[in-house]
A and B are shown apart, each in its own frame.
Chain A
Amino acid sequence: MKHNLILRIVSKFLIPLIFLFALYVQFHGDFGPGGGFQAGVIFSAGIILYTLVFGIDIAKQIIPPGLLRLFASLGVLIYGGTGVAGLMLGGNYLEYGVLGSTQVAGQHLGILVIEFGVGLTVMSVMLIIFFAFTERHKED
């Protein structure tokens, strides 16, 4: 689809908006609908659109598969690490209240951090699966 001019221009216009919306859903999940899971999926949808239009080789230059694997593990690590941080500060595992100066501040920080971890893992895993399927198709 590399030579389809309209598709290229329209997706170039759309992809930044998709990313922006994903970030909004990610960090506004405490106030409106959404959260890390949906944000990760939307973010990966933006990159998948890019891959469909410009080809997997260029997409892989932007996001190398090694980086995706790192991100996928890092997301789970951030989530688990937040729990351990709570333990270190004298609370229970995944008790966010001890992370901040007050109960509410700690909860806010904890929720924000773990949602970020969820988003990171979901985004990377969706792309890992998509890239694996696409690569396999190319090889055959």
Chain B
Amino acid sequence: MIEIIVEITLLSLLVIMAFAIIRMRSLFTVIMLFSGFSFLSAGLFVVMDAVDVAFTEAAVGAGISTILLLATLALTYSPNVVKKEELPAHKPWLPLFVVMITGVLLIYGTADIPDFGDANAPAQKHVAPYYLKQSQSDTGVPNVVTAVLASYRGFDTLGEVTVIFTAGIAVLILIGGRKKDNKQEFDDEA
């Protein structure tokens, strides 16, 4: 019973926050609200017993991405230039219509989704029972999530780490700290 109340509270707060994000015009406020949104989702994941996902959401979604977004804002925003926002030239009816249709279709689609925690859901029938039964004797690791991520799905995790590594390289190439050296080289050539 308490769990339902907590879930309803968290979900309504998420909806309120989503509307607040849409209404806000200050990017700084929007980023902070995004952080709060992530943190609420993390709370929701804890209620759903997905602590590993909640942990990641709280650390990455609410923590690091907020910092990176704020850093981006500091990089791109100049307080001296205040632009007055112009109303868009086109009418909102067509986008609104498309969004409404999509929303209705999505809600219609949820009718086919199995209940939360349903033991007969396809997701629970495929490989999940094997992991739950065998991971202890296969790997000796009590946390099944770690056993799946690091051992059974080691290739996927290797791919994820490579993606992160690539992202770091991409940022270094784009805005890495070699600016001064480049300038010097350019001067030498000239």
Contacts and interface: CB of A to CB of B under 8 A. Distances in A.
Interface string A46-86: 00100000000000000001000100110110011001000
B151 A111 contact: yes
A133 B177 contact: no
Given A30-B146, A108-B140, 16 more contacts: A30-B142, A35-B149, A37-B56, A37-B160, A41-B60, A96-B154, A111-B139, A118-B161, A121-B165, A122-B161, A125-B165, A126-B64, A128-B171, A129-B171, A136-B179, A137-B75
Nearest to B60: A41
Interface string A83-111: 10000000000101000000111011011
Contacts of B157: 79, 114, 118
Contacts of A125: 164-165, 167-168
B15 interface: no
29 contacts: A25-B55, A32-B143, A33-B52, A33-B55, A33-B143, A38-B60, A41-B59, A41-B64, A42-B59, A42-B63, A44-B64, A45-B64, A48-B64, A79-B158, A94-B155, A104-B137, A110-B150, A111-B141, A111-B146, A111-B150, A114-B150, A118-B161, A129-B68, A129-B171, A133-B71, A133-B74, A136-B75, A136-B175, A137-B75
A133 B161 CA distance: 21
Interface residues of B, number: 45
Interface of A: 25, 29-35, 37-38, 41-42, 44-45, 48, 65, 69, 72-73, 75-76, 79-80, 83, 94, 96, 103-105, 107-108, 110-111, 114-115, 117-118, 121-122, 124-126, 128-137, 139-140
A128 B140 CA distance: 35
Contacts of B137: 104
Interface of B: 51-52, 54-56, 59-60, 63-64, 67-68, 71-72, 74-75, 137-143, 145-147, 149-151, 154-155, 157-158, 160-162, 164-165, 167-168, 171-172, 175-177, 179
A130 B71 contact: yes
A36 to B, nearest CB: 8
A96 B151 contact: yes
B72 A133 contact: yes
B149, B157, B168, B175: residue with the most chain A Cβ atoms closer than 10 Å:
B168
A124 B171 CA distance: 13
